[in-house]
A and B are shown apart, each in its own frame.
Chain A
Amino acid sequence: MKRSLQSTLLLLLFIVVLLLAPVLLPEFYVTLLNYIGLYAIVALGLVMLTGVGGLTSFGQAAFVGLGAYTSAYLTTVHGVSPWLTLPAGLLVTGVVALSLGLVTLRLSGHFLPLGTIAWGMSLYYLFGNLDALGGHTGMSGIPPLQFVELELKSGREFFYLIWAVLLVLVLGTRNLLDSREGRAIRALKGGSVMAEAMGVNTPRSKIVVFTLAALYASTSGWLYAHLQRFVNPTPFSLTQGIEYLFMAVVGGVSHVWGAILGAGLITVLKQWLQDWLPRLLGQSGNFEIIVFGLLMIVVLHRARDGVWPMIQRFFPQRLICARVDGVRPLTRRPLPEAGSVLLEVKDASKRFGGLLANDRVSFGVRAGEVMALIGPNGAGKSTMFNGISGVDPLTSGSVSFRGEPIEGLPAREIARRGMSRTFQHVRLLPSMSVIENVAIGAHLRGRRGFVAAACRADRAEESRLLHEAAVQIERCGLPEQMYEAAGSLPLGKQRIVEIARALAADPCLLLLDEPAAGLRYLEKQALADLLRRLRAEGMGILLVEHDMDFVMGLADRVLVMEFGQKLAAGRPEEIQRNPAVIEAYLGGVE
């Protein structure tokens, strides 16, 4: 509580400084701050897109241009009020960003930025060549913004508007990232497989975050048009788009305040370099880009997180508080009756090119039992897991879960039906705290969306989600590590975090891929105890594991695979005596 008071005080102090700035500073600095504010709005969108979502765009300047030109055109040619052109600009930008996103976001990561380069170029040339938009000379006579009687004609007056918008967006973005949908966006960086398995619709999250970033840029463009009251294509070129990315990266691409810092640093540096470099070099020209480019390379080599983390140390950290008294726990789904069939796999086959990784395997898992899948390396166990959970669908065969066919469904739909899983190669977000990682598992148990998150209307639900995450972490025996960064835990403990995350989804079938790997003896015992308790509650558990002591002591039934086929199935003691199994494990030479 003390920390949050501190950060509120710091925020208030920042606002007071902003209120006083235009009164105390000379015109030149107010103008500079106005530009910093405008750039920071765009950079903020990039923080969300690049630093948080792991996507990137060089074409943000073109989106700024869309906002600016829409307003310029509608106000000067059609006499529309500037207050109506803001939504119009947002609409145009939104439609463009949405369609561009739909086209590129299914492709692997680098096609989006390449697309935005081409797109940025083409829009820039379009602005410069459309007669209706004034060609290369641009459009002038854009009306100023007006609040009832007050016309925002001077930079000092405009300052308040720009910084108010920026501040609202910064706080809104911060709130958003600290919410259910925000966690889904942050999960994108770890690859879409994990997020999808936790029920996140990753293409939707990507498109939303890309469109939001574009809308921020468009807002900045609208402000720019009415501040300058003149637009031409130059500030919307690809070079400017690249500069926006520099701002975000130099400032600190994973931090909302890094956007303001980066915009400030680059803008001041540019101003200064533009004064000095031509004198130094005895030529005129935009030589500051040499310094920017080199600076950027050094930042990417030496401090990929930018400057903000170095400053952040002096500020209090925001902590999430997971345990609020009187929270109503989330409702749980009714577990199927113990002994009833949960999962039924029939003739499951998976082909990779010429290799048959799974060859007509059939088995079932009942509620309230632990079923173990074992076999030598390369026997096709993880492939089977991916096939069942929808991560990498089977080539043929059928899978039914709680009586419904699920083969061919996307992973998130299977997750919604009550199947949750962990991964052989741990897929946690290393820089996020354990509790936030686990809360991703509860994604499908909340409903609040982006808007609610941005204006903090989601707090009741959020505390229920965090409460659930905390309960699962405690149940798995990691209460002390709840607020630590997940990446700082030893690998064995990270696997336990994965189990807590899977449990937060309230599953009735749990798929565990090598849960005991990397655990010490006592930790293995604790894990076995936990799984026994879950089984007693009526949960079905399917696990792949190499530690035979662990498997044989825990499993009710064991399925042995070799060469993608079912080799044997039965109770552990039967399997241990089965000559074919001993052959498969120890190998036979004919």
Chain B
Amino acid sequence: MSTLPEQPERTVVLEVRGLSVNYGKVEALHGLALKVHRGEIVTVIGPNGAGKTTLLSALIGLLPVRGEIVYLGERQGAGRSVEQLVRQGMTLVPEKRELFAEMSVEDNLLLGAFDRYRAGHRDHLETMDQVFDTFPRLMERRNQMAATLSGGERQMLAMGRALMAKPRLLLLDEPSLGLAPLVIKEIFRTVAQLKRLGVAILLVEQNARAALQVADYGYVLETGELSLEGPSSELSMDRRVIESYLGLGGRL
């Protein structure tokens, strides 16, 4: 296994050590360790059922965890909650999108800024313009109900809504899910753009090729454990990635 050499000039946004998550009595994730730096895209790839969504749910505070999570240099205590993490700039774009179906695109975006509004910031209109710059398609659809959008537009809206919170760490859960290849390409191009805004991105994907193409660094998650890691360029060459997906190991 290869590791990145320490680069002290880059600030670490998220560092996880020995992270385990239980569903009831079953351990779904076991002893995970990973790091995300500012302005970096880190991907966690792996087959269905490996625990990718569990990882993100645990990070955003939807599931209780064991182990250490250091976010923005601060160790997360037992009392952490989704609301508190959102306030501190961590935002999740969930696998199921979780849009407000009967509301307009614009209202969905506006609610993305809810917490900032509540905290006293009134810059949501400017932020919305920036989101529209990133996703011109949303601008065209601004008055449409979210429920009427196509699959790709929904993913854009989910990401746009998350950006309204001006996140420091964006957690993306399977943005390619159920989308046609051309649309996936468009979504991933935007993901790459976001990096330039200085957002740290943790991208969880089944679509290994697309993910490794945009990411700087990757981890492979297999049945609850990280089995491989390395710079994406190296990982995409690694035969073991394919094996872990298609059961070519023939161990049974």
Check: A347 CB closer than 8 A to any chain B CB: no
Q: Which residues of A contact B242 (CB under 8 A)?
A: 582, 586
Chain B: CB-nearest residue to A379: B178
Check: A172 CB closer than 8 A to any chain B CB: no
Chain A: CB-nearest residue to B52: A377
Check: B206 CB closer than 8 A to any chain A CB: yes
Check: B24 CB closer than 8 A to any chain A CB: yes
Q: Which residues of B contact A403 (CB under 8 A)?
A: none
11 A-B pairs within 8 Å (CB atoms) are namely A377-B95, A377-B177, A378-B177, A525-B252, A546-B49, A548-B246, A548-B247, A549-B249, A550-B247, A550-B252, A586-B241
* Structural contact, B207 and A586, CB atoms closer than 8 A: yes
Chain A: CB-nearest residue to B53: A377
- CB A30 to nearest CB in B, in angstroms, measures 50
* Structural contact, B184 and A582, CB atoms closer than 8 A: no
In chain A, positions 522-552 with a C-beta closer than 8 Å to chain B are 524-525, 528, 546-552
Chain B: CB-nearest residue to A524: B252
* Structural contact, B251 and A549, CB atoms closer than 8 A: yes
Check: B152 CB closer than 8 A to any chain A CB: no
* Structural contact, A587 and B210, CB atoms closer than 8 A: yes
Q: Which residues of A contact B250 (CB under 8 A)?
A: 549, 552-553
* Structural contact, B26 and A587, CB atoms closer than 8 A: no
Check: A98 CB closer than 8 A to any chain B CB: no
In chain A, positions 208-243 with a C-beta closer than 8 Å to chain B are none
Q: Provide the bound-state CA to CA distance between A487 and B23, in Å.
A: 12
Instruction: Please give the number of chain B residues whose Cβ is less than 8 angstroms from any Cβ of chain A in the complex.
Output: 36
A589 in contact with B185 given A378-B178, A549-B249, A552-B250 (CB within 8 Å): yes
| Contact bitstring B80-91, A, C-beta under 8 A = 1, else 0 | 000000000000
Check: B57 CB closer than 8 A to any chain A CB: no
Check: A590 CB closer than 8 A to any chain B CB: yes
Q: Provide the bound-state CA to CA distance between A587 and B211, in Å.
A: 9
Check: A432 CB closer than 8 A to any chain B CB: no
Check: A588 CB closer than 8 A to any chain B CB: yes
Chain B: CB-nearest residue to A353: B147
A518, A528, A589 — most chain B CB neighbours (10 Å)? A589
Q: Which residues of A contact B8 (CB under 8 A)?
A: none
* Structural contact, B26 and A377, CB atoms closer than 8 A: no
Q: Is the interface of A mostly helix, strand, loop or mixed?
A: helix
Q: Provide the bound-state CA to CA distance between A524 and B223, in Å.
A: 13
A488, A563, A587 — most chain B CB neighbours (10 Å)? A587
A-B contact count (CB 8 A): 94
* Structural contact, A587 and B247, CB atoms closer than 8 A: no
**Which of B24, B206, B246, B249 is in CB contact (< 8 Å) with A587?**
B206
Q: A528-B252, A589-B181 are in contact. List 9 more A-B contacts (CB 8 A).
A: A490-B24, A491-B25, A553-B250, A576-B247, A576-B248, A586-B241, A586-B245, A587-B206, A588-B209
A589 in contact with B213 given A377-B48, A377-B206, A546-B49 (CB within 8 Å): yes
Q: Provide the bound-state CA to CA distance between A585 and B249, in Å.
A: 16
Check: B182 CB closer than 8 A to any chain A CB: yes
Q: Provide the bound-state CA to CA distance between A587 and B209, in Å.
A: 6
Q: Which residues of B contact A87 (CB under 8 A)?
A: none
Check: A392 CB closer than 8 A to any chain B CB: no
Q: Provide the bound-state CA to CA distance between A550 and B49, in Å.
A: 13
* Structural contact, A551 and B209, CB atoms closer than 8 A: no
B185, B213, B223, B249 — most chain A CB neighbours (10 Å)? B223
Q: Provide the bound-state CA to CA distance between A488 and B25, in Å.
A: 8
**Which of B23, B25, B206, B245 is in CB contact (< 8 Å) with A548?**
B245
- CB B44 to nearest CB in A, in angstroms, measures 14
Check: B40 CB closer than 8 A to any chain A CB: no
**Which of A487, A517, A585 is in CB contact (< 8 Å) with B245?**
A585
* Structural contact, B49 and A553, CB atoms closer than 8 A: no
A587 in contact with B252 given A548-B47, A548-B245, A548-B247 (CB within 8 Å): no
Q: Provide the bound-state CA to CA distance between A590 and B184, in Å.
A: 9
A589 in contact with B247 given A514-B49, A546-B48 (CB within 8 Å): no
Q: Provide the bound-state CA to CA distance between A341 and B173, in Å.
A: 41
Q: Which residues of A contact B26 (CB under 8 A)?
A: 490-492, 518
In chain A, positions 558-590 with a C-beta closer than 8 Å to chain B are 563, 576, 581-582, 585-590
Q: Provide the bound-state CA to CA distance between A449 and B61, in Å.
A: 49
Q: Which residues of A contact B181 (CB under 8 A)?
A: 588-590
* Structural contact, A587 and B49, CB atoms closer than 8 A: no
Q: Which residues of B contact A490 (CB under 8 A)?
A: 24-26
* Structural contact, B209 and A589, CB atoms closer than 8 A: yes
Q: Provide the bound-state CA to CA distance between A529 and B245, in Å.
A: 23
Check: B135 CB closer than 8 A to any chain A CB: no
Q: Which residues of B contact A550 (CB under 8 A)?
A: 247, 252
- CB B158 to nearest CB in A, in angstroms, measures 15
Check: B106 CB closer than 8 A to any chain A CB: no
* Structural contact, A576 and B246, CB atoms closer than 8 A: yes
